[in-house]
Amino acid sequence: MSGSNLIGGRTVIQESVAQESLVRGPIILGLLLLLFLVIPRVAWSDRVNFEPPGKLIDVNGHKMHINCIGNKSPTIILDSGTGGFSLEWKDIQHSLSQYVRVCAYDRAGYGWSDMGPLPRTTKRITHELHTLLQNAGIHGPYIMVGHSFGGFTAQYFARNFNNEIAGIVLIDSSHEEQVYRLPENGKDVVRRSLHQDRSNMVTMYVLHEHFPKEEAAVAQQLMTRWTALLTWREEMANYALSSRELRDVHNKPLSGIPLVVLTRGKRVWPETEYGDAMEEAWTELQEELSYLSVHSTHIIAENSGHVIHLDEPELVVDAIHDVLDFVEKELDERGG
Mind listing the pLDDT tens digit for each residue in 108-144?
999 999 999 999 999 999 999 999 999 999 999 999 9
Taking residues 171-192, report their average pLDDT. Answer: 77
Three-state SS at 296 = strand
Mean pLDDT, residues 299-309: 97
pLDDT digits (tens, 9 = 90+) for 18-65: 222 222 233 333 333 333 333 344 444 566 789 999 999 999 999 999
Closest CA to 68 of 96, 49, 108, 48: 96
Is the pTM higher than 0.95? The answer reads no
CA distance 297 to 261: 6
User: Over the stretch 238-296, which tens digit does the pLDDT of each residue have?
Assistant: 999 999 999 999 999 887 899 999 999 999 988 999 889 999 999 999 999 999 999 99
Q: Chain-wide mean pLDDT for the chain? A: 84
Quote the pLDDT of residue 330. 85
The C-alpha angle 273, 278, 279, rounded to 5 degrees, equals 95
Report yes or no: 172 and 148 within 8 Å, Cβ to Cβ: yes
Q: Which CATH number fits domain 3-335: 3.40.50.10490, 3.40.50.970, 1.10.760.10, 3.40.50.1820?
A: 3.40.50.1820
| DSSP secondary structure code for residue 197 in this structure | H
